[in-house]
Structure 1
């Protein structure tokens, strides 16, 4: 290389370094879903179409509607096996249809308030973990329905750590903690406190827009936490009436049909680096009376409409 070529090459390198780059060296472009509309895979929580005749029918409905993933319940897995089904085979069918299983709901009664009750719960906990692993799930939800009221945060955090270890070491699952207004552990803040105090790098939480609202924990704390702390994000809207203290799960409505600040929530999720599933979770008995394929189709369409409005 002569002097002129050396100077030209140096100038070109300086220009590249000085120009703004969208991605850092070695990074990959952001993966998009739903024909580029969404930065997150969109999942169908099977409660949304609960009256469907079987888990296999729910899988078919989700695939036909165009979801990326499906989130079943432990009772559905148990029923599927009781009727002679093989969950590993079903997991393969789900994959062949272009879906995946990000989470299974869930580990009920897994965090009781005494050592004796905890040890008694392990048989059921392990069976639920086994079923989730068989179907190919990435996470399993740890449900604090029996922690005690009031609960001992130190005890719950220690037992949640045990659950994390068991799930990972024995079933290759990630155990994530949920919060529900109707349980003693009600808010995202309370769930995050338990996750932090578990003192484990595998600790995760599962926020739910509906319970963030009706627990009155609110939405403005989202920017304070990392998206990497979340396993999945449950998504629905809430109506203007009845009053917030009278709202039940049956009042959930399609995204965009209610009063929740879902656009801002999605913008915050993108800003904090959340990159896992948005899962549509509805328990509305009025929807259950309708054609369930249309319910799934409408839920996906309305979810994507909110995502478009958020500009993420």
Structure 2
């Protein structure tokens, strides 16, 4: 497996320009670029300069993060390019294709009320419909869709099984998964990752690795993520399950922790690399 850094880790204290230099220095194999930080880069730099960086450095781009689906998206015959989600998708495809990224993270609809109370079967069908259309739109760019289940109660796709049903129904070679250890854990404090063994292994496009604080379910949120090595997520079991599936791709550390954002980018990226590499080494994944 390969080490990867997701820019969410130092989102509020860094820039894409800094992240590129620091990830190269730390030893990461890949970087996942965030769309907000990409837009920041494009205010002073060009896509061609970004492509040139990756062409002259060991660090390479992986998935661009993230496009958030919403109910009714792509319901018209022609895409609504004024839709912010579609603007994100277009930017991800255009830049991803140009720099050799190849992947874009796709997040299922999240209920703004904080708790999804809709019809789960209908929500799955809506995801299938949207993903089929995005698959066709992504194909000319050579981009693949990494569908990410989100374990929070506001999500309409919380389990590995639900995500698997959706990806199988979409049935396109450029539509697969990103499995995130904490998003799986969020659904009922789950540390049983064995359901991953039932998905199509060729659809495992990306992996996000992190642990989290031990807090009551009412306090669980993305801000409770922490680097592997501490916390309540069984990252060893997660990696061992992926290893059993024959997965040997990227493993990207992704946190949204305000405590980390208060640090320097140097501290965040050095510790992100150290803890991720230690977890991979411990489980014989390098």
Question: Structure 2 length normalisation: TM-score?
Answer: 0.86
The equivalences for 1:58-207 within 5 A come to 58-81=19-42, 83-109=43-69, 112=72, 115-116=75-76, 119-120=79-80, 121=83, 123-124=86-87, 125-145=89-109, 149-150=118-119, 151-169=122-140, 171-180=141-150, 181=152, 182-207=154-179
Aligned counterpart, 1:223: 197
* Contact 1:227/1:269 (<8 A) preserved: no
Which consecutive residues of structure 2, in runs of 5 or more, have no partner in the other structure? none
**Match status 1:244 vs 2:208:** no
The size of the alignment, in residue pairs, is: 270
**Match status 1:257 vs 2:221:** no
The change in CA–CA distance for 1:205 and 1:118 in structure 2 (over 3 A counts) is farther
The change in CA–CA distance for 1:271 and 1:226 in structure 2 (over 3 A counts) is farther
* Contact 1:111/1:143 (<8 A) preserved: no
The change in CA–CA distance for 1:213 and 1:103 in structure 2 (over 3 A counts) is same
Give 1:228 deviation, angstroms.
2.1
Which one has a larger percent strand, Structure 1 or Structure 2? Answer: 2
Higher relative contact order, chain-length normalized (CA < 8 Å, sep 6+): 2
Give 1:53 deviation, angstroms.
4.0
Give 1:133 deviation, angstroms.
2.1
Give 1:227 deviation, angstroms.
3.2
The change in CA–CA distance for 1:114 and 1:166 in structure 2 (over 3 A counts) is closer
Write the deviation string for residues 105-132 of structure 1: whole angstroms up to 9, x where unpaired.
Answer: 1223366357149832485132332132
Moved more, 118-127 or 205-214: 118-127
* Contact 1:256/1:302 (<8 A) preserved: yes
The Cα RMSD (Å) is: 2.3
Write the deviation string for residues 149-195 of structure 1: whole angstroms up to 9, x where unpaired.
Answer: 434323321321221121122x1111121121242222222221110
SS in 1 for 2:5: strand
